[in-house]
Amino acid sequence: MLMRTDPFRELDRLTQQVMGTAGTWSRPTAMPMDAYRDGEEFVVSFDLPGVALDAIDLDVERNVLTVKAERRPVGKDVEMQVSERPLGVFSRQLFLGDSLDTDHIDAKYDAGVLTLRIPIAERAKPRKIAISAGEDAPRQIDA
State the average pLDDT over residues 51-64.
92
Residue of 51 and 128 predicted with greater confidence: 51
- Residue 124 pLDDT > 80: no
Mean pLDDT of 82-103: 86
DSSP annotation of 29: B
Shortest CA distance to 98 belongs to which of 125, 117, 58? 125
Q: Is pTM, for the whole model, over 0.75? A: no
pLDDT of residue 76: 81
The whole-angstrom separation of Cα 99 and Cα 122 is: 8
With b for 16 or more beta-carbon neighbours within 10 A and e for fewer, the 63-94 pattern comes to eebebbbbbeeeeeeeeeeeeeebebbbbbeb
- The rounded distance, in Å, linking the Cα atoms of 26 and 23 is 8
